[in-house]
Structure 1
Amino acid sequence: MDPIIEKFKDIPTTCISDAMEGLNNLHPAIKPLKKDDKLAGRALTVKIPVGDNLAVLKAIRASKPGDIIVIDAKGDLYRAIAGDFVIGMAQTLGVGGFVVDGVIRDIAGVKALNLPVFAKGTTVAASGKAGVGEINIPISCGGMTVHPGDIVVGDADGVVVIPQMWEQEVLERSLEKLKKDQIRETTISGNRDAILKHLDELINK
């Protein structure tokens, strides 16, 4: 796997978000179906109209191991972009996860696959396959522009997108923020005097 992806895997999305001033977060309604799910990888983007998921199948067919399939489904909450069978095929081909501005179905089966899926929720209705849609183009997902190859990181707090042109800089800033958080945790948490001092510093900044 891409070494920079491996490094982002170990960084909380909160730190990555802070490193980008909170500007590259997807809508908070897009959450993992299983609270402990995490993902990190490069975006394979999909743009579909409401109720047509043929382009999702094309994306799975075109995917490389580790790709995160990021789907602009227009936020539709009625028709699922996929169910457990389609997501299971993606898992077998090595897809690293899904991020969907929309919903999925067959939630019990999808959860049993243990493939990270981030979506706005679940539904019972399937999509059709009229054939409209595109892959590997810039899309809007959860209010954020996502380009093919951007790094996508998700955990219990949500999903962030790191543009390729900034990925090294964002990685360095994220690691710096994580280190500061860890130092703060060990030196302040549980220490009454340190907490009071820290609060005064924040209030009087």
Structure 2
Amino acid sequence: MRFFKIQTIAAILLLSISVQAQNLTISRQEMIELTPKWTGERFPDGRPKVSDDLLKRMKRVPLEQAWGVLKAAGYLHQYEGNWKNINSGEVLVGRALTAQYMPIRPEVREHLEKEGKADGRVGDMVSWPIDMLSKGDVYVADSYGKVVDGPIIGSNLGTAILAKSGNGVVFNGTVRDLRDLEAMPGFTSFIRGDHPSHQTEMMLKGVNVAIRIGAVTVLPGDVILGYLDGVAFIPPHLAEKVVKVGELVLVRDEFGQIRLKEGKYTSGQIDNRWTTEIEADFAKWISANPGKLPYSQAEMQELLKERTW
């Protein structure tokens, strides 16, 4: 009897979760609970809002340094490679606005369309996430890699995305009108491919919910850092540390390369944990070049104390 009761309770809980999961978005409180380590500014819906200043500085951070900080913090699955890049050579940085697509199930799509109409959403489902974009966002969508009848945007929706966010997209799926999208300055994007068809037999299952992109779980408000064929998905509470460590490593590389050209140190000395002598030389060089880092030497020393890179 006890086992039967436990099974019954479990079934009720699963049913409750299933019904709740049919909602397109989550509440502000649920968003806060989903991203508890973020203590900074949030959008009205609760999505973390990493500052524009950090986003601007993030563009200089190498993917290798971002990955190193994330790994040291215990985030081992935040990088996805082997993308097709639109506007290769440009860096994509922004706050993730997430969307999840699934193969159509008629009764679920009907329910979601009714909900969308009640919320004042217009047009086909594929336009709904685009209408929610803000400047500095990156539209991140899992369209489950569908190719034929899978593209969820073409040149018209791409133009709308760029106008609203100033950025391109990260899609675990495909696009159409590739030539037109490639001709749009600033539309730096990471996609799985392209196809001349358009999406059919698909449905938008959720916006600003947790989604999977390859091997990564992406949350709303994660900071996207994409370059060449790789993308890092940075939890918002780690964005500032990623930026500061990235800036410090770049400056240390600059110093090391200067000293190598001068012949003061050997490559073995620079490409290894620095001696006390080299660290003292670096600190003196930083003091003589105060504009190299946008934060104090005290902060720099704290980062050096806890470094694992």
Q: What is the TM-score normalised by the length of structure 2?
A: 0.57
Q: Does 1:140 align with 2:193?
A: no
**Contact between 1:19 and 1:177, CA under 8 Å: does it hold in 2?**
no
Report SS of the residue matched to 2:145: coil
1:113 to 184, 204, 216: 184
In structure 2, how many angstroms separate the alpha carbons of the residues matched to 1:2 and 1:62? 18
Q: Does 1:2 align with 2:52?
A: yes
**Contact between 1:29 and 1:119, CA under 8 Å: does it hold in 2?**
no
Match of 1:14 in 2: 64
Report SS of the residue matched to 1:91: helix
Q: Structure 1 residue 56: deviation in Å?
A: 3.7
**Contact between 2:154 and 2:177, CA under 8 Å: does it hold in 1?**
yes
Report SS of the residue matched to 1:20: helix
Match of 1:32 in 2: 85
Most deviating of 84-93 and 181-190: 181-190
**Contact between 2:152 and 2:198, CA under 8 Å: does it hold in 1?**
yes
| Percent identity of equivalent pairs | 23
Structure 1 residue ranges without an equivalent (≥5): none
Q: Deviations over 1:39-61 (max 9, x none)?
A: 11110001001589x54411100
1:125 to 181, 185, 197: 197
Match of 1:49 in 2: 102
Supply the RMSD in Å over aligned alpha carbons: 2.8
Larger helix share, 1 or 2 = 2
Q: Structure 1 residue 187: deviation in Å?
A: 3.6
Structure 2 residue ranges without an equivalent (≥5): 1-50, 110-123, 274-309
Relative to structure 1, the CA distance from residue 129 to residue 90 in structure 2 (aligned partners, 3 Å threshold; closer, same or farther) is: farther
Amino acid of the structure 1 residue aligned with 2:252: K
In structure 2, how many angstroms separate the alpha carbons of the residues matched to 1:155 and 1:80? 22
Amino acid of the structure 2 residue aligned with 1:81: I
In structure 2, how many angstroms separate the alpha carbons of the residues matched to 1:44 and 1:33? 19
Match of 2:155 in 1: 84
Report SS of the residue matched to 2:169: strand
Larger strand share, 1 or 2 = 1
In structure 2, how many angstroms separate the alpha carbons of the residues matched to 1:179 and 1:67? 28
Match of 1:156 in 2: 228
In structure 1, how many angstroms separate the alpha carbons of the residues matched to 2:68 and 2:253? 11
Report SS of the residue matched to 2:80: coil
Give the total of aligned pairs: 199
**Contact between 2:101 and 2:202, CA under 8 Å: does it hold in 1?**
no
